Structures are given as C-alpha cells and as structure tokens.
Structure 1
Amino acid sequence: MSSFFPSFLISFLLISISISVFADTGKIGINYGRIADDLPTPDEVASLLKTQGITRVKLYDTDTDVLKAFSDANISVTVALPNENLTAAASSQSFTDSWVQTRILPFYPNTNINAIAVGNEVNVNPNITSYVVPAMKNVYASLQKYSVSDAIKISTPISFSALENSYPSSSGSFKGELLEPFIQPMLEFLKKTDSYMMVNAYPFFAYSGNSDQISLDYALFKPNSGVVDSGNGLKYDNLFEAQLDAVYAAMDLLKFNDLKIVVTETGWPSKGDENEIGASSPNAAAYNGNLVKRVLTGNGTPLRPNFPLDVYLFALFNENQKPGPTSERNYGLFYPNQQKVYNIPLTAAEAAAAVAPAANLGSKVVVPKAGQSWCVANENISKEKLQAGLDWACGEGQADCRPIQPGATCYNPESLVAHASYAFNSYYQKMARAVGTCDFGGAAYVVTQSPKFGSCKFPTSN
C-alpha cells in the first residue's frame, strides 16, 4: 500500500533518494569561459555556482580574480596552461617552475585546484602537438618540486577529431600522424602519473552534419531503437556514449585499457545559423538535461560499464565575443544576467525529481512501502517504448535478465509485456525501490500485489 508524504518532507526525501540512487555515479561540472564583455564578476559567478549546487568548474586559464573568487567556495577547479604557453613550457623547466609558483601555489589549497589542462585540443594544430607531452612533463616536475603533484592531476583535452575511425565504436582508432608525436607518449604519461584522459565530445556536430543518417532522438538521449555495434554486439541508445566508446576502443588498440576518460567539454547550442541543423533551445535543454540525468543516475558506457561518467558541460554563459558561427555564442546554460537560458537539473536531488515524474503528484511524493511493491510494464504504452525500456533495463540498467532468456524460468509467457515487467522489476528492486526507478519514460508503474505472468515469480529484492 502506498503512503503520501506532505510537501515539507519532500526535500528530505530527495536527499535520501540521492544517497541511495546516486552513490558511485558520475559527476557534473561546467566550463566557465569568459570571451565576452558583459559577464558577471568572478565573485558573482562563484555565488551563482554555489546557488545552483555546481561544485566542479573548468577554466581556460589561471586568472587571478577568478581563482581568488573560488577560494573557500567548496568548488573543485580545473585550470589551464593555454596553447600559447606550450612551447615555453616544453623547452624550459624554469618557465613551468615560475608558472606553478605564480599561477598555482598562491591560491592552492584555499582554491581547490584539482587538475591542470595543459593546452586544449592541440590535435587540431600540427604545429604544437609535439610540444604538449614535454610541457606536461615539465609542469608535473614543477608540481613535484613543490609537493603538490599527488593532489593536482595533469592531462590535456583532445577533440573527437583525433580519431581516424569512430563508427562503429568498436573500430575506433587514432589518426596515424598523431600517434608517435603525441598520443602514445601522452597515454604513457597519464598512466605513469595515475591521471586520466580528457576528451571534448560534441554529438551536436555529428548530428548537424549527418542529420539524414543520425536520429535526433539518438543524439538527444531520447527513447529510440538504438544502434547495435556490428563489431562487438554492444547496443547504444545514445550517440554520446558511442563516441566515448570509440575513444576507449582506440585506447584499447594501444593497450591502454585501464585509463579513464573525463569529458571536459560537451554541450548543445540553443541557437545557430540556418545551416546548423538542430541548434535550438528545446534541443539544447533535452541534450544537456538528459545527459545530466544519465550521468547522475547511471554507470559507465557499454564498453566501460564500471567507469562512472564525469562530464563538464559547455558552457556556463553565452559568450558574445566568440568568433565563428552563431552557435559558438549560444552554448551557455545562463545569460550574462544570470537568468537561465532553459531549465535543466544540475544536482543529484534535481535529477532524482526529474526522473520520477510518475511519482510526483502535486506537492506529494508516492513512496512504496518497503518489501511490498513491484514494478510492472504499462500495457497501454507503445511497443516501441516498452522495447526501449526493456533494452535499457537489461543493458545499461544492469537488471538481471537471465530468467527471461530462451529456456529460462521466466521466458514463458513469451510476451513483451511479461519480459519488460520482469526486467523493470529487477532494476526497481536492485535500486532498493527508490522513487523514480519504476518509470522508464512512462512505460512502467508500481503495484502492491505480486505480478502474475505464468509460473514466473518476481523477486522483491536483488
């Protein structure tokens, strides 16, 4: 039997949900670019981030005012050594010593600097790629000199264009001309220093340039039929994870299968030029909102299910002085006046509320009584949605779907509703019957009587 909680207990409930559902999941951060003449002050930005519950931010430099503003703010900061400093950093240890002394140490640890991005997307500029790893090594040596190398990781963001092949994901490989001067030594450095790979991935570019071949729902994390990788048999229900696994496959070819990827940039523009197909506020809200929910409620990718996703959204603000097409100035989640361009969840509690629309009734939240509820498929929903939910539960959701395989105890009756109900319930019980874990986009609901499908017995716990 369901019970109802009054509205004043909702905040407490959502905190409990976030603890039970989002433990050991990924983390969301945001890129704070400043190529604009109308942005709030760094102090105002720090207050905005705290108000929004954002605890991770990535910068493109080491601006003094910004680093001071983030002092004692409980915000983890990734800073950058810009591309224009790479040649000096690569050729001179004294340069990186001085850079660390003046750009890092005066602020650390009051400002929680946890990583340094040495350069940005250097793979697109062959004139500087060979300088990156020597610069990384010199910066690392300087951090060692001042005893902060264990606390501050070093990496360099690569763009997705570093791949020679990316489809299917299992065929992922790096461009041959990048291997010797950049990719191979970089991966060796990351492994030696216990760091991670930084990747900038934008499904928007792939969709906009190939909208006749790529489903918009697939790009926006919306329910879709998915794509099965012909090389490894894994099924993908979104382009973002397919792109990441292409990078992981490329790393596997080089025998670096234990390095984790952190997505240092990804986003979707709310406005674009006429030829920038898909650039719109609704699509940006769908992509970023669904991505946040995916990161905060899921595990890793199909190829790396045990590596939670850590993602930095691009970007905090619309930046009016960025060159290029209209989209470049319209990736922000906020306008410069600090008003939201569109609403998306940014914290675990907000994501919990967002994934649980069926459990929210006005100002009250339905909470199933422990041990006396099950999750079953909605027979009135479309077969496509039921199949999508079933595929997600048995794949990404890691439900125990062995009993509904041919010849197993719950294969009969051989119906989509029966099989989906078993999978949905398996996931629901695995997640401790937390609010929002029996929804599947409206394809499921909670019942308080044990489901009856043939002789199959539905578990009440996993």
Structure 2
Amino acid sequence: MASRAFYLLISPILLFSAIVVSDAAGSVGINYGRVANNLPSPEKVVELLKSQGINKVKLYDTDATVLTALANSGISVVVALPNELLAATAADQSAADNWVQSNITKFYPQTKIEAIAVGNEVFVDPKNTTNYLVPAMKNIHASLVKSKLDSAIKISSPIAFSALQISYPSSSGSFKQELVEPVIKPMLDFLKQTGSYLMVNAYPFFAYSANSDQISLDYALFKNNPGVVDSGNGLKYQSLFEAQIDAVFAALSAIQYDDIKMVVTETGWPSMGDENEIGAGEENAAAYNGNLVRKVLNGSGTPLRPQDPINVYLFALFNENQKPGPTSERNYGLFYPNEQKVYNIPLTVEELQGGQSTPVNTSTSQAPPVGGEVSKTQVGQTWCVANGKAGEEKLQAALDYACGEGEADCNAIQPGATCYNPNTLEAHASYAFNSYYQKNTRAAGTCEFGGAAYVVSQRPAYGNCEFPTGN
C-alpha cells in the first residue's frame, strides 16, 4: 500500500479498477500480506481461505512456503516481483529467466499462479525505479514464453492513485503528463500485446479522511445518499469508489486506450486509526467492504461502463502488527492473527443471502467483539477468547476470576502443563475464558468478563494445544 500522503489530493475522487471471473458478476479476492510476527502458518492460512470461500489471493512476493501451501488448493494466486529486483531484471534477461525458473515454473501448475505483479506502486517508489518497470515486465514475459507459460500467466504492475493528474470530475480523469510518454503508454502497449490488464490500488478512505468536510461519509461507504452528478458527462455517481473507477477509464480514454481491462488489486478501509484519521473504525470498515462485496458479486458495473463487472482484491487478510506508519496501516485486516473476524461481511454469493454487514463488535469502542451473543453468521460450535485490546490489567483480573471463583479448568495452562505455551497473558486468558464459557454451556453472558472477552465461531489457534469444546 502506498503512503497516505500520495492520496491527499485536492480532488475528492480516488482511483479504481477490475478483473474478470464471469460474464455476470465480478470476483472478490484478498491480499495476503505478512508484515507481522504473529500470523498463523501458511498451511493454516490456506485452510482459513478455503473455509471462507475465498478462491483468489494476491501475494507481495514468491515465498516458497506460501506457494507450497497453496499448491492443489484450488486458489488462484497473483505473485509479485519486488521493486528491489526491478533494476536487475530489466538489465539482464538471464536474471529474469532465473527468477521465473526459481519462483514460477518450480511451483506451477500445482500452485495456480495466474498473474505476476512486476513491482508495486513503482511510480511512488522513493528509490525511483520507474525507468526499469517496462523493461522488467518485457523480460519476465520473455522468460514465460521460453517456459511456454505466457498464455497462462499474465503480467502487470499495480499503480497508485498518484499516477492521475486529475480525477475530479471523473470525466476529466487524466494521467500525470510526465508519466504518459515515458512509461504509461509503453506499459499499456505491453498489456495490450500480451492480453493482460492494468492493476490499480484504490482507497476511498484516504480521499474521505482528507476531505471529510466535502465528501459525504455515506457516499464513501456505498450507503444511501443523494449522489454526485459529474458536470462533464452528466452521469450520477452513488459511491466514491465508482467515481474513482470511471476517472481511470477517462484517463485511459484520453490517451486512446479505451480497450484496456483493469483490476482493483488493493482496496479496503481500516478498522482503527489515529485521531486525525477521520472515518477509521470497525463500523465504517464493515460498511465499506461489505457493501463493496455486494456490488461486485451482484454484477453491476459503473455509470460509465455499466455492463463491465467490477473485480477486486480486498486489503487485507490480516491486521499486520509490524507495518510502519499510522495506526490504520496495521488495521486493514478482515481477520485478527488468531484467525477470528474483525467484523462480519459476506465474501461469497451464498453469504449474500445472509443480510447486513456489521462489525462483530456493536459497541462504540474500537475493540474486538464483546458479549455473549453469537452473530447471525456464527452458528454451531462457538468458543470464547480474550480481547487483547482490553489491556493487561483487565485481562489479568478476568483471568484471576475465571481460574478462581469461576472454577474454570486452568490446570492445563500452569507452568510445564500441556497448554502452558504460548506463554502470554492473552493466550492463557483465552484458554481460561473458554473453559468457563464451555463449562457454563455457552450461555449468554458467560463470555463477557467486563469486555475482556468475545465469542468466535472458528476454533482458535493455540499453539499445539487444542481448545476444548462443550457438548
């Protein structure tokens, strides 16, 4: 994801894009970032993806353990050649050949690699790698040709919104002039020649947060609103995201590349942010992502291209605790590292039958879900886990109660016992809270502990120790 600074423009419109899955509806994939030290193993992540009906995933590298875990999973994968390899790949065909051999042909077709993202948001890379982009893309493609994989695996490169000079109104969309001849046109020519598509990263959140006095929150979240009429073409927009999409279409049209397809390779909304990050929060994140998924899976296009399905990769699978920058950067995940949902949204056509997208937590705080009731999507077996955001003091007091007056079975988390590891307050509290919850037959109110716990519908990951269930 690009730095927020690149999105704080005078225009209230951001960026967009699309990818193809069927004639009737778009597709929803997810970005699997790993800038964290507390994530589950790749094998567990693949099981999580499958359990959620997610069959498209985008990576930021070609990590061997991840690609091996994805083998024979049925999940389509977009991999990435990092920006730091662009110069070498652009300069030397043998370097490109070696990279493809080591990172693509070694895993394909067992791992369904469908595209390679050559670089990421290269135009805003502080190391100034723009000049290497198209030569690197061409060399990687030549390597795929040698391996007879060029028809199966597409090549593109995600661009950030800063590639647009004008984005409002959408009909006036245009690319920055200094980029058009040197790199935009050559890249688009390459995409046309190889039958590929343009990748775009789009974040309405940044535009709204920087211009909340001018942009309606309902407009940014796909909620009911009066809409915005484009003064240039007279089209009416009901969401900021659609306006962003059409701004890119307009920019392409302005340089005679109307037939280029697109993919939204990143889009999302943070569930938590700093005080100055207006709009960040669970309720808004659930609304944005949930309503976007509905629009994509319902098959509706944009005002400018109503027949073209929109396809997206949500950002991101997990909250990533080692990402630098503002608080929002670490809180885009649909899931906590313990594999529990940050909030409930539909991710498949089947789930669309289920109704609203809402935060799991209905309180106004930005903590994980609290309370004993199970949401509509949490059916069958449930467990009780600790709310890590409650603070050490509250967690310790609740743990002491559960193991004392609550008479939870805490023998297994004593030093040397089978569930002592992971040896953290949150892990031990989760085990104790769940013991209490199951002992009390999962009754409403038995997973509260003053806001220190919440109910989940998937068995929590707990090292090598299995969480007990009730009968």
TM-score (norm 2): 0.70
Partner of 1:296: 297
* Cα offset, 1:299, TM superposition: 2.2
The 5 Å alignment of 1:376-387 reads none
AA aligned opposite 1:35: V
* Cα offset, 1:309, TM superposition: 0.7
CA distance in 2, matches of 1:273, 1:244: 28
**Preserved CA contact (<8 Å) 2:23 2:309:** no
CA distance in 2, matches of 1:139, 1:53: 31
CA distance in 2, matches of 1:153, 1:302: 28
CA distance in 2, matches of 1:43, 1:125: 32
Partner of 2:8: none
* Segment of structure 1 superposing worse, 120-129 or 43-52: 120-129
Q: Residues 279-331 of structure 1, C-alpha deviation per residue, up to 9 Å, x if partnerless?
A: 00000000000000010013221112222111000000000000000000000
Partner of 1:71: 71
Partner of 1:274: 275
**Preserved CA contact (<8 Å) 1:93 1:138:** yes
Give yes or no for the alignment of 1:31 onto 2:61.
no
CA distance in 2, matches of 1:283, 1:255: 37
* Cα offset, 1:198, TM superposition: 0.2
Distance 1:23 1:140, change over 3 A: closer
Partner of 2:311: 310
Partner of 2:468: none
Q: CA RMSD in A?
A: 1.7
**Preserved CA contact (<8 Å) 1:235 1:302:** yes
CA distance in 2, matches of 1:300, 1:93: 40
CA distance in 1, matches of 2:304, 2:79: 29
Partner of 2:119: 119
Partner of 2:96: 96
Q: Residues 83-114 of structure 1, C-alpha deviation per residue, up to 9 Å, x if partnerless?
A: 00000111110001000100001110010000
SS at match of 1:79: strand
CA distance in 1, matches of 2:297, 2:355: 11
The 5 Å alignment of 1:39-438 reads 39-125=39-125, 127-354=128-355
CA distance in 2, matches of 1:299, 1:153: 25
Distance 1:177 1:125, change over 3 A: farther
CA distance in 1, matches of 2:24, 2:94: 40
Q: Residues 169-228 of structure 1, C-alpha deviation per residue, up to 9 Å, x if partnerless?
A: 000000011112211101111111110010000000000000000000000000000001
Q: Residues 418-439 of structure 1, C-alpha deviation per residue, up to 9 Å, x if partnerless?
A: xxxxxxxxxxxxxxxxxxxxxx
Q: Residues 59-88 of structure 1, C-alpha deviation per residue, up to 9 Å, x if partnerless?
A: 000000000000000100000000000001
CA distance in 2, matches of 1:103, 1:274: 42
Q: Residues 102-156 of structure 1, C-alpha deviation per residue, up to 9 Å, x if partnerless?
A: 0001110010000000000011137111110000000000000000000000000
* Cα offset, 1:265, TM superposition: 0.1
Gaps in structure 2 of 5+ consecutive residues: 1-21, 358-375, 377-471
**Preserved CA contact (<8 Å) 2:199 2:264:** yes
Gaps in structure 1 of 5+ consecutive residues: 1-21, 357-362, 364-462
AA aligned opposite 1:118: V
**Preserved CA contact (<8 Å) 2:345 2:356:** no
* Segment of structure 1 superposing worse, 344-353 or 321-330: 344-353
Q: Residues 238-283 of structure 1, C-alpha deviation per residue, up to 9 Å, x if partnerless?
A: 0001001101100001111011110000000000000000000000
AA aligned opposite 1:350: E
AA aligned opposite 1:49: L
CA distance in 2, matches of 1:125, 1:75: 30
AA aligned opposite 1:228: V
CA distance in 1, matches of 2:115, 2:220: 29
SS at match of 1:114: strand
AA aligned opposite 1:264: T
* Cα offset, 1:355, TM superposition: 7.1
SS at match of 2:178: helix
CA distance in 2, matches of 1:99, 1:302: 41
Identity %: 69
CA distance in 2, matches of 1:354, 1:138: 47
AA aligned opposite 2:45: V
CA distance in 2, matches of 1:300, 1:89: 37
CA distance in 1, matches of 2:146, 2:110: 20
Partner of 2:388: none
Q: Residues 2-45 of structure 1, C-alpha deviation per residue, up to 9 Å, x if partnerless?
A: xxxxxxxxxxxxxxxxxxxx962000000000000000000000
CA distance in 1, matches of 2:248, 2:131: 20
**Preserved CA contact (<8 Å) 1:226 1:235:** yes
TM-score (norm 1): 0.72
CA distance in 2, matches of 1:186, 1:236: 29
**Preserved CA contact (<8 Å) 1:293 1:355:** no
**Preserved CA contact (<8 Å) 2:52 2:347:** yes
Moved over 2 A (4+): 352-356
SS at match of 1:104: helix
**Preserved CA contact (<8 Å) 1:129 1:182:** yes
**Preserved CA contact (<8 Å) 2:31 2:314:** yes
CA distance in 2, matches of 1:23, 1:143: 28
CA distance in 1, matches of 2:293, 2:240: 15
CA distance in 2, matches of 1:136, 1:189: 8
**Preserved CA contact (<8 Å) 1:318 1:330:** yes
